[in-house]
Amino acid sequence: MLCNIIGAKFINSECVCPIDQKLENYRCVCIQVNKYIVNGTCVTIICPAGQIISGSSCVAITCAPNEKLQDGVCVVPISCSTGTKLVGNTCVPITCQVGTQLIGNSCQAINCPVGTELNGNSCDPTYCPPGTYLVGATCAPVQ
């Protein structure tokens, strides 16, 4: 009689795995944790930094674009790259209003619309429409 299980031998009318292996789901597997069968023998596989064991080989860990690899695990960074901000656990692009431009990680006024003037990093009104009057940097209704 033949044993159709890779690595097992047919002994006393049953398939038997080698001494350091056990039969599980119709195949021989290593008894010890973190050992894998390579060419019929149980061996310890140690992967280099940035890789994990998949099956019996090491594969690179790939993280989502907003994550970074830290101690072998993908984590959300505490700070985001230039032009993005952290919202919850995700880095999202910073969007700026009309007349402003993203410089570093903040929106700064560069071109103010007609009727406004550049004041620091914002465009403040220089005149107000009929029925309103200028109060500081805003137009308030006439009462």
Max CA distance (Å), the chain? 103
Query: Per-residue pLDDT averaged across 62-85, rounded?
Result: 79
CA 25 to chain centroid, in Å, comes to 35
Average pLDDT, the chain: 81
Q: What is the pLDDT of residue 108?
A: 79
Query: Per-residue pLDDT averaged across 94-115, rounded?
Result: 78
Return the percentage of the chain with pLDDT > 70, whole number: 97
Which of left, alpha, beta for 121 (phi over 0: left; psi -120 to 50: alpha)? alpha
Contact 29/6 with Cβ under 8 angstroms?
no
Q: What is the pLDDT of residue 1?
A: 55
For residue 45, pLDDT over 80 is answered with yes
Beta bridge partners of 135: 138
Structure tokens at 70: 């830290």
Q: What is the pLDDT of residue 77?
A: 67
Query: Per-residue pLDDT averaged across 112-135, rounded?
Result: 81
For residue 15, pLDDT over 60 is answered with yes
For residue 93, pLDDT over 60 is answered with yes
Give start and end residues of each alpha helix (H) in the chain.
none
Strand 21-24 to 14-16 pairing: unpaired
